[in-house]
Amino acid sequence: MTSLKRLTFEQTPIYVLSDRPEWFVPDPAGDRLLSNRQAKPENSREPMEDIRHQQFFSLLPTADQQSYTGRSDYLELEGLEECWLHITDQCNLSCRHCLFSCSGQTRTALSLASVEHVFDQACSLGARVFYLTGGEPMMHPDFRQICSRILTARTDTHLVILTNGLLLPQFSL
């Protein structure tokens, strides 16, 4: 098995491989197995327990897998296809599962000038699909102008808005 390094974040175990960009978060039973791998001699376990352990460890990366040499060995960059813009941290909800921990109290937002600059660069690189995310993108003070800029700059641009939908009645789309 490839060398695994155990890290913790907020008491959650994270196992990271040292030779390639791979990681996983095991459940508590998996963490115990990984932490105590040498604690119990294999011949002291019940046969079914040994089979379950072997099944678990067979899912882990092995040393004979090639090291990751970078995405350039697998992909060719021919242009940009899409652009994701996190335009604000402000949100009208405060969901526990939110990746960004956004709320109504946060006020961080990209300026309209910054959004337009990124949009122009992305367009010149070939992007035609633009995603607006946040927080709640509809809470951005320049939301209408941003949408208008993206949708009127070219006839072949598409706009995707990742929203909780609560503010849709305020916008005639």
Q: In terms of domains, do 87 and 137 share one?
A: yes
Please tell me the predicted confidence (pLDDT) of residue 117: 98
Overall pTM surpassing 0.75 (yes/no): no
Residue 154: give its domain's CATH number.
3.30.750.210
Please tell me the predicted confidence (pLDDT) of residue 159: 98
Please tell me the predicted confidence (pLDDT) of residue 138: 96
Domain that holds residue 13: 4-58
Q: In terms of domains, do 86 and 47 share one?
A: no
Please tell me the predicted confidence (pLDDT) of residue 74: 79
In the beta sheet, which residues pair with residue 5? 16
Q: In terms of domains, do 52 and 94 share one?
A: no
The DSSP line for 58-80 is HTS--TTSPPP--GGGT------
Please tell me the predicted confidence (pLDDT) of residue 132: 98
Over the stretch 122-140, which tens digit does the pLDDT of each residue have? 999 999 999 999 989 999 9
φ/ψ (deg, to 5) at 31: -65, -40
Residue segments in the chain with a per-residue pLDDT below the cut of 50: 38
Q: In terms of domains, do 51 and 91 share one?
A: no
Total domain count, the chain: 2
CB 137 within 8 A of CB 88: yes
Please tell me the predicted confidence (pLDDT) of residue 63: 59
Q: Is residue 147 a part of any domain in this protein?
A: yes
